[in-house]
A = this chain, B = another copy of it.
Amino acid sequence: MADYLDSLKFVSPSGEAIDRSPAAVFRQKCRNGSFTGITSGHCLSFVQANVVILPYQHAYDFLLFCQRNPKPCPLLEVMDTGSYEASILAPGSDLRSDVPLYRIVREGRNEEERTDIRDLWTGDMVCFLLGCSFAFEGALLEAGLGVRHIEEGKNVPMYITNIPCRPAGVFSGNLVVSMRPYPEAMVPEVKAITARFPKVHGAPVHSGDPAAIGIRDLGTVDFGDSVEVKPGEVPVFWACGVTPLVALRNAKLPLAITHSPGHMFVTDGLNSELAI
């Protein structure tokens, strides 16, 4: 029984008691407005999630889009309609206030950013939490494999590829990838480490020639910042959680709410618990 329930509850497989209070304390700071920044570097051991909040009317299409495109859209938790507590990953949380900064998207346009959405909340809304690559970056660093954008103090470089996602209802768009460069000899190890994290995009989708996936110039990012690719290094590309946000933009819904990029929802789950 333990194995099954543990996999649902994100309890350590060894059954040891884990102090999850730092994540709850951090969410409290977001809730009361004393933290509104980028979450990179905060609560390092804890799973940080992409957030999408939609009216129920579009929830089936979005859930199906995630099912059909699991590499860019790894679902961690979907709440009951009208519920704003992530009862599995963050008991006691309030998704209307516990994200440091929200983005309000209307008709596909980023209308505003704000720290609280309580006045926009209606009982027909559905909250989705999706995995984010922060989790496997920790594993790469622990293995002594540098992560270039962290070394350079930047956001990860992201590109829209020419690879179409499988559409679902109103949601469609091309795959977005993040890029981290590595010496060619290290690529197999990089692949093996990240393959252990299927809930946070898993193994790379491509390595080598950017043109093969429709990227003309690594220096020209679609999101984030460009980083140096040194001689002897090859670019390695992972499916990216910005993919569903692009599909959301393309759908031009009257209202959708997401986290503001980099301002993730911090859960009680540990990154180490995501590994298989």
Asked if A1 contacts B205 (CB within 8 A), the reply is yes
Return chain B residues, CB-CB under 8 Å to A205: 1, 3-4
For chain A residues 162-210, which have a beta carbon within 8 Å of chain B?
A: 163, 166, 168, 175, 195, 198, 203-206
Task: Kindly state whether residue A23 has any CB partner on chain B within 8 Å.
Answer: no
How many angstroms from the CA of A88 to the CA of B175 in the assembled complex? 18
Size of the chain A interface, CB-CB below 8 angstroms = 33
How many angstroms from the CA of A80 to the CA of B67 in the assembled complex? 12
Q: With A60-B60, A67-B78 in contact, do A206 and B4 touch (Cβ < 8 Å)?
A: yes
Return chain B residues, CB-CB under 8 Å to A1: 161, 163, 205-206, 212-213
Asked if A78 contacts B68 (CB within 8 A), the reply is yes
CB distance from A42 to the nearest CB of B (A): 28
Task: Kindly state whether residue A71 has any CB partner on chain B within 8 Å.
Answer: yes
Task: Kindly state whether residue A25 has any CB partner on chain B within 8 Å.
Answer: no
Asked if B206 contacts A71 (CB within 8 A), the reply is no
Oligomer copy total? 2
Task: Kindly state whether residue A117 has any CB partner on chain B within 8 Å.
Answer: no
Q: With A63-B67, A78-B64, A78-B67 in contact, do A206 and B3 touch (Cβ < 8 Å)?
A: yes
Asked if B63 contacts A166 (CB within 8 A), the reply is no
Task: Kindly state whether residue A220 has any CB partner on chain B within 8 Å.
Answer: no
CB distance from A15 to the nearest CB of B (A): 14
How many angstroms from the CA of A175 to the CA of B5 in the assembled complex? 11
Task: Kindly state whether residue A7 has any CB partner on chain B within 8 Å.
Answer: yes
Q: Which residue of B lies closest to A79 (CB)?
A: B64
Task: Kindly state whether residue A239 has any CB partner on chain B within 8 Å.
Answer: yes
Q: Which residue of B lies closest to A167 (CB)?
A: B80
The contact sample of 18 A-B pairs, CB cut-off 8 A, is A1-B161, A1-B205, A2-B206, A3-B203, A3-B204, A3-B206, A4-B163, A5-B163, A7-B71, A59-B60, A63-B67, A64-B78, A67-B75, A67-B78, A80-B168, A195-B276, A198-B198, A198-B276
